[in-house]
Amino acid sequence: MNPTTSTVAAMRATALGRMTELLDRSPDPVGDEHARAFEAELADRFGTAHAVALSSGTAALHAALAAYGIGDGDEVLVSGACVVMTLVAIRLTGAMPVLVDSANGELDFDDLAAKTNPRTKAVLPVHLAGRCADLARLTAYCADRGLRLIEDACQAQGTRYDGRWAGTFGDAGCFSAKDGKLLWSGEGGYILTDDGGFAARARSFATHGFLPAPGQPAGSRLGHNYRMPEPVAIIARGNLARFDELLALRRRQTRHLLDAVAHVPGLTPIQPDARLDWNGYAPLLRVELERPREFCARLAEQGVANSVGTYGLTTADRLPSLQNLGLSACPAARADLDTTLAVVVHEGHTEARLDEMARIITEEARQWR
Ligand SMILES: *Cc1c(COP(=O)(O)O)cnc(C)c1O
């Protein structure tokens, strides 16, 4: 179950060598060798023309929206089943998020059409738990209406849809490298894109506008400090080099846990869409028990971390912190999230630990009233 020790050892040796070399150097205020190398390696690995390395997934979303000029007075259509970071990124630009109902990773295209209006500038599907909406249809929808398609692919590293990597369909695909995501580096994030002008603007935005993009006069734009630090880039490069293994491991872990709870009454594995080559981001179970959110919370108390029980995942219209935005209710997304047990799995989970998690889930479900 655990990654083959030889590739972990190789990754460690390379990363430690680079780190030692970095520490031996006197601090270089504009040193970005590893961040730029990570970008080149990402673009090569995922077949895009460009990649932009950043400090987090939220930074990637904010930089992508800002670099396409989205801001005050604009609306961004976003999956109803999303995380709070997606909405924060939209609000940071001054634009308004407009929730589109969604369930099981799929978007409600009728709701999408009903909410598209002249203020709409972009569609931001969120590939929750590594599953995605019909991306071919969504790409065509956006192209027909001149809308930007920006994917929140933070949980979809390694998923393919119709054979193509999630996060490479739209104008920009945004990813996180926070621990627990597939390609982890402690913190960090990145954008994949084929649009060179956009990549330059996003990179400029990530360093206070100090490196103006072509066509942008120096000092004409404000930005943020969203750079990927060099030590983080060293770890990210190490994990990108063994990405196939990380992906295969996550899939095995998810399969293992799902197999171990296959016959528990009240819990049914959620099957991904057939067009999807799913990354297995998290074991997903439909909870057909009374008070499913309480059930998830009870599991979290016993050390089985999960999206509802640990992170309180719910639709944004129900979050007190976003009440002032008047976000629309998304009934399908709400029912979906309320009854989905998404177990948090990471690289360190051994087969024995997965078996222990399965035992806790099984016992809790058997005695749940
Ligand atoms: C993790 C995550 C983010 C934000 O990533 P950070 O690196 O924590 O800022 C955004 N969207 C989704 C769907 C995520 O899973």
Q: What is the pLDDT of residues 19-34, one digit of tens each?
A: 999 988 877 766 899 9
Asked if 142 and 231 sit in the same domain, the reply is yes
Residue 121 has pLDDT above 60, yes or no: yes
Asked if 264 and 194 sit in the same domain, the reply is no
Asked if 62 and 139 sit in the same domain, the reply is yes
Asked if 234 and 249 sit in the same domain, the reply is no
Mean pLDDT score of the chain, rounded to an integer?
94
Mean pLDDT (whole number) for 282-304? 98
All residues at 6 or more sequence positions from 258 whose CB lies less than 8 Å from its CB, including other chains: 269, 283, 285
Residue 7 has pLDDT above 80, yes or no: no
Looking at residue 219, its pLDDT comes to: 81
For atom 12 of ligand 1, the residue with the nearest CA is: 154
Asked if 110 and 187 sit in the same domain, the reply is yes
Banded pLDDT at 3 (limits 50, 70, 90):
low
Whether 178 is catalytic: no
Of 240, 269, 288, the residue that ends a domain is: 240
* Domain count along the chain: 2
Collapsed DSSP state (helix, strand, coil) of residue 124: strand
Longest dimension (CA), the chain: 66
Asked if 347 and 283 sit in the same domain, the reply is yes
Probe ligand 1: pick from 54, 85, 179, 307, max atoms within 8 Å of CB?
85
Ligand 1 centroid, distance to 136 Cα (angstroms):
23
Q: What number of other Cβ atoms are within 10 A of residue 161's Cβ? A: 24
Cα separation of 320 and 327, whole Å?
11
Mean pLDDT (whole number) for 170-181? 96
Q: Under a CB-based contact definition with an 8 Å cutoff, are residues 179 and 346 in contact? A: yes
Asked if 200 and 115 sit in the same domain, the reply is yes
Of 240, 266, 288, the residue that ends a domain is: 240
pLDDT, one tens digit per residue, over 208-260 is 988 888 888 888 888 999 999 999 999 999 999 999 999 999 999 999 999 99
Please tell me if the CB atom of residue 86 comes closer than 6 angstroms to any atom of ligand 1: yes
All residues at 6 or more sequence positions from 9 whose CB lies less than 8 Å from its CB, including other chains: none
Asked if 73 and 163 sit in the same domain, the reply is yes
Angle between helices 243-260 and 230-241 (to 10 degrees): 70
Probe ligand 1: pick from 152, 181, 232, max atoms within 8 Å of CB?
152
Of 212, 240, 268, the residue that ends a domain is: 240
CATH code for position 265: 3.90.1150.10
pLDDT, one tens digit per residue, over 64-108 is 999 999 999 999 999 999 999 999 999 999 999 999 999 998 999
Domain range for 212: 5-240
Whole-structure pTM over 0.85, yes or no? yes
Higher local confidence (pLDDT), 7 or 202: 202
Q: What number of other Cβ atoms are within 10 A of residue 81's Cβ? A: 29
pLDDT, one tens digit per residue, over 321-357 is 998 999 999 999 999 999 999 999 999 999 999 999 9
Asked if 221 and 256 sit in the same domain, the reply is no
